[in-house]
């Protein structure tokens, strides 16, 4: 990696560090609280549903990949996608970045890479905390499941980061990109609940709903390859469109 690329990636990290840290704290608290409230939540559920039992893997799946983690991670991914040369131009600071001896393409790619890495890291935090902290409540969760769920989750979900990243390169205004992005994702979520468009449901790919092994709520050898590849492909296209937008813009 060249010195210029390292410099750009460090710049991107410094610009997004506060947002990443805030999101990491929230998702850390989510992971900790998910484990610590497990006994009471499971017991309460079983009191209401007499004669039925809630397994720990089911509880984790409902609480994280299918529940709060999906909701909070998507918001975090959208926030991480903000920034870039368009925002710097609005703030009057783009002259410094554009004066560096690197291409606009490398500016965009460096920021995209750092943001994607941050989004990926955030997806792993709660599930790894489940793995580490489960013995505190006399439960266990397999390392292979934590890693597989997290990997599947972030790979399928990176399209939301890329979507926000793209919006930050076409919309001006501090709140335009996150507002439009979150509204569009919410509408897309509702849209994919229609039977005719269920094949577009990337949310089910994120939580592995269709590849769970029976009622174990564990993942087996199957993996939602097609939706993940499609999601990553769309994410790549959105990044390329962002590069084209920056190259065509007169700053």
- Inter-residue contact 119 to 18 (CB < 8 Å): no
Among 8, 153, 7, which Cα is nearest to 83's?
8
Domain count, the chain: 1
- The answer to whether 181 and 163 have CB atoms below 8 angstroms apart is yes
The mean pLDDT of 197-204, rounded to a whole number, is 90
Cα maximum dimension of the chain: 69
Which residue(s) pair with 13 in the sheet? Answer: none
With CA atoms as reference, report the closest residue to 71 among 131, 169, 153.
153
Note the pTM of the prediction, 2 decimals. 0.93
Most confident of 104-113, 121-130, 189-198: 121-130
pLDDT single digits (tens) 20-58? 999 999 999 999 999 999 999 999 999 999 889 999 999
List C-alpha distances in Å: 42 to 29, 38, 49, 179: 19, 6, 10, 36
| pLDDT for the residue 161 | 98
Tens digits of residue pLDDT in 113-166: 999 999 999 999 999 999 999 999 999 999 999 999 999 999 999 999 999 999
Dihedral angle over CA of 206, 207, 211, 217, nearest 10: 160
Domain extent, residue 237, equals 3-248
Residue with the bigger pLDDT between 221 and 136: it is 136
The pLDDT value given to residue 83: 80
pLDDT, position 99: 60
DSSP 206-239: HHTGGGB-TTS--B-S---HHHHHHHHHHHHHHH
């Amino acid at each position: 990696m060249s010195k210029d690329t390292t410099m750009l990636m460090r710049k991107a990290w410094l610009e997004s560090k506060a947002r990443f840290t805030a999101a990491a704290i929230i998702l850390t608290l989510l992971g900790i609280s998910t484990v610590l409230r497990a006994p009471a939540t499971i017991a309460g559920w079983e009191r209401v549903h007499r004669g039925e039992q809630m397994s720990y893997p089911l509880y984790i799946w409902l609480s994280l990949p299918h529940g709060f983690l999906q909701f909070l991670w998507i918001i975090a991914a959208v926030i991480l996608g903000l920034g870039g040369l368009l925002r710097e131009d609005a703030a009057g600071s783009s002259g410094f970045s554009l004066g560096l001896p690197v291409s606009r393409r490398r500016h965009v790619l460096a920021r995209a890479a750092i943001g994607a890495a941050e989004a990926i890291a955030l997806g792993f935090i709660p599930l790894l905390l489940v793995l580490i902290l489960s013995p505190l409540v006399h439960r266990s969760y397999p390392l292979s499941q934590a890693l597989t769920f997290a990997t599947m989750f972030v790979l399928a979900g990176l399209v939301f980061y890329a979507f926000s990243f793209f919006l930050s390169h076409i919309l001006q205004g501090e709140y335009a990109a996150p507002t439009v992005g979150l509204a569009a994702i919410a509408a897309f979520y509702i849209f994919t609940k229609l039977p005719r468009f269920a094949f577009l449901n990337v949310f089910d790919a994120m939580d592995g709903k269709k590849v769970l092994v029976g009622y174990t709520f564990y993942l087996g050898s199957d993996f939602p390859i097609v939706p993940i590849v499609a999601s990553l492909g769309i994410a790549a296209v959105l990044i390329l469109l962002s590069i084209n937008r920056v190259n065509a813009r007169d700053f």
